[in-house]
Amino acid sequence: MSAAGSKSAQRRMAIRSVVKGCMADGVCAEAVVARLALHLRVEIRVAELAEIVLEVVPSNSQEKERLQEVAGLLRRKPGAFATLRATGAAVRHARDDDETDAAVVRRLALSFDAAAAISQTASVQLASLGDEERLSATTEEVAAWLKEQDFTGTGRDILDIGCGIGRFERALAKSFNRMVGIDISSRMISIASDRCAALGNVELRQTCGLDLTEFDDSSFDCVLAVDSFPYLVLAGMAERHFDEIARILKRPGWLALLNYSYRGSLFLDRTDIGRLAEAHQLRVVINGEKPFRSWDGDAFLLARAAEHYRAPPVRTSNKRR
């Protein structure tokens, strides 16, 4: 084999390794494509990537089907993959040694503005592939899960930390008394304001992202955080926000936290959440499950007990529904 041929073979082998890694956890094909958009470091034609995906040796028949689905998505939506890569690249998930917490938040705010300018839908969920219908389907699945957990209720006031483009405000509009959505991105708040303009029980605010001091003690029945805590962890502000959430939650109260970090370790996430929950007298009810078919998010549900309230036992299963 020539030197050029050997280099090409090594390149394809490296890409197959990335594909295999992105297939971990049995996630759906859309999530695999999103992971590839984030983690593939080489420039490659989408048609070639689809070919390489099919070169991966599957572990079982289910994995073979998913590989075929991934290749099919890439072939049908080559432009979408380029959009995902650009949207994902707009937000840097690393921290410089000399960056302060506040500086990280300011950078992320500008990054989210840039990502939303590329694709409103992909900026809040890459696994949507930039498709509004896919995003709506996943949003409805998450909303249904929240209702199943008795998180919502027509008498409840909810704070949505990192509301993005207001998708949960719309999906749950008939399932709460009042929802306040906050985000550090001015562009996302502007988009959310347009999308939620007809909803009288929704309030949207751009926030500094440093704390929740604008809200009074015991002012919310529930706090929702979908894909926002990973950035609080990055900025070193997760513990501060747990302090604040514990302060603003009523008794009884609920915290639904979907994705705690992007560290890739559910063990570390569970450890951190368990420690923070104990420190703030919150009980972990659901401990890092993957209950969604169309999204690979890890779900945590925490309860603040009322007097004489007994929460159900903690659940730690990762089994998909």
Tell me: the pLDDT tens digits for 201-228? 999 999 999 999 999 999 999 999 999 9
Question: Which pairs from 187-190 meet CB under 8 Å and 24+ separation?
Answer: 187/112, 187/113, 187/116, 187/117, 188/112, 188/113, 188/116, 188/123, 188/124, 188/163, 188/164, 189/163
With bands split at pLDDT 50, 70 and 90, how would you rate the model's confidence at 8? Answer: confident
Give me the CATH topology for the region 132-304.
Answer: Rossmann fold (3.40.50)
- Buried b / exposed e over 258-290, threshold 16 CB at 10 Å, is bbbbeeeebeebbebbbebbeebebbbbbbbbb
Distances (CA, A) of 142 to 24, 72, 102, 294, 319: 21, 25, 31, 9, 16
Q: What percent of the chain has pLDDT over 70?
A: 94
SS3 of 158, please? strand
With bands split at pLDDT 50, 70 and 90, how would you rate the model's confidence at 319? Answer: very low
Q: Who contacts 120 (Cβ-Cβ below 8 Å, separation ≥6)?
A: 165, 191
Distances (CA, A) of 12 to 50, 56, 73, 180: 11, 10, 19, 48
Q: Which residue has the tokens 């006031």?
A: 157
Longest alpha-carbon distance in the chain: 75
Residue 320 confidence (pLDDT):
41
- Say if residue 46's pLDDT is above 70: yes
Residue 309 confidence (pLDDT):
45
Listing from the earlier edge strand, what are the strands of the sheet with 249-258? Answer: 202-206, 176-183, 153-161, 220-226, 249-258, 299-304, 282-289
- Say if residue 316's pLDDT is above 70: no
SS3 of 240, please? helix
Residue 113 confidence (pLDDT):
98
Q: What pairs with residue 254 in β-bridges?
A: 222, 303
Q: Who contacts 260 (Cβ-Cβ below 8 Å, separation ≥6)?
A: 229, 230, 233, 238, 269, 272, 273, 298, 300
Q: What pairs with residue 256 in β-bridges?
A: 224, 301
SS3 of 241, please? helix
Tell me: the pLDDT tens digits for 78-113? 999 999 999 999 999 999 999 999 999 999 999 999
Domains of the chain by residue range: 3-76, 132-304
